Amino acid sequence: MAPEAGKPIDVARLKADLAAVGVELLSAHCATDRVRLLYSPQDIVTFGERHSLQRAIASAEAVCRFFSQIEAHINRQEDVNP
């Protein structure tokens, strides 16, 4: 769901949503580290549910793409306003 161009945004809501995303990402990062430290990639592939792994991979890729777009905007803004 993309916002409409030129539509005013609720900045306070945006900041609250970003804070919530930060907490949820930290939680996901901790859960990932816990699994990473307990199990080898081979064990995860061998014994993990393939569908769950594929969903997790798709989610991680989507998060990466989104934040890569945000990073590109930040870098462009820094190039214009050093």
Calculate Rg over the CA atoms of the chain.
17
State the pLDDT at residue 80: 84
Domain boundaries, the chain: 10-48, 49-82
**What is the rounded CA–CA span in Å between residue 19 and residue 43?**
34
Taking only the tens of pLDDT, the chain with its 82 residues reads 566 677 899 999 999 999 999 999 999 999 999 999 999 999 999 999 999 999 999 999 999 999 999 999 999 998 888 7
Q: Which tokens go with 78?
A: 């820094």
State the pLDDT at residue 3: 66
State the pLDDT at residue 2: 63
